[in-house]
Amino acid sequence: MADTEIIWGLGRRKTAVARVRIKSGTGEVFINKRPINEYFPNQLERLSVAKPFSVTELVGKFDVHANVQGGGPAAQAQAVRLGISRALIKVNKELESKLKETDLLTRDSRMKERKKYGRRGARRGFQFSKR
């Protein structure tokens, strides 16, 4: 991989979509042009985003720039994580087995079920009244 080569990865979770660019660097992570500490104040979400690097032992080797839309903070963090994992595979195909072992390449496709007509929610009906 060339020094300035940019590798793309796409990650999705619920309604969150993350377009992730990685390039060799010092380990800086920017999400929507903001540092990760500012964008994800929650430690769990920051750890979730960094997990692909810790699993593949590449911490501090790549700079990450991600654009995320939709979903909540947890879904966005998981979308970024999937995007990073997919981009790392493009860098080195041998990392795929490590990432697959730790379930970082699986797209979590669970979505909110839509509300149906004649019901109060997706499955919940209206309260029945005999009289």
Name which of 74, 103, 99 is nearest 89 in CA terms: 99
pLDDT band at 2 (very low <50, low <70, confident <90, very high): low
Q: What is the pLDDT of residues 58-109, one digit of tens each?
A: 999 999 999 999 999 999 999 999 999 999 999 999 999 999 999 999 999 9
Per-residue pLDDT, 3: 60
Name which of 24, 86, 31 is nearest 61 in CA terms: 24
- Is the pLDDT reported for residue 129 higher than 80? yes
Domain range summary for the chain, segments of one domain joined by +: 7-101
pLDDT band at 128 (very low <50, low <70, confident <90, very high): confident
Q: Hey, which bits of the chain come out as E strands?
A: 7-13, 16-24, 29-31, 34-35, 62-69
Name which of 67, 61, 42 is nearest 1 in CA terms: 61
CATH (residue range 7-101): 3.30.230.10
Share of the chain above pLDDT 90, in %: 89
Tokens of 48: 């979730």
pLDDT band at 18 (very low <50, low <70, confident <90, very high): very high
